[in-house]
Amino acid sequence: MKTVQISLNSIDKVKSFVNDITKFDHDFDLVSGRYVIDAKSIMGIFSLDLSKPIDLNIHADENIDEIMEMLKPYLCE
């Protein structure tokens, strides 16, 4: 498992993030405080506080490079 911090601070960013992440068969969880939701659930994402960076847990062993490349626009520096 790999964890990265992402920022989803606009509706368009959330929509494109969900579209990008559903292309992968792996599980992705978003962790904000004590809440853990499925990163492929657009309704779940909107239930989180999107004003702050969110931890994304990537449950994958292969395709990590491809996943990280896809996540570049959302990563916090």
Judged against a pLDDT cut of 80, whether residue 77 lies above it is answered with: no
Dihedral angle over CA of 55, 59, 62, 65, nearest 10: -10
Judged against a pLDDT cut of 80, whether residue 50 lies above it is answered with: yes
5: left (phi over 0), alpha (psi -120 to 50) or beta: beta
* Residue-level pLDDT at 73: 95
Judged against a pLDDT cut of 90, whether residue 61 lies above it is answered with: no
- Rounded mean pLDDT, 34-59: 95
Residue 51: Cβ within 10 Å count: 8
Find, among 36, 49, 46, 50, the residue nearest to 8 by Cα.
50
Sign, CA dihedral 64-66-72-73, equals: negative
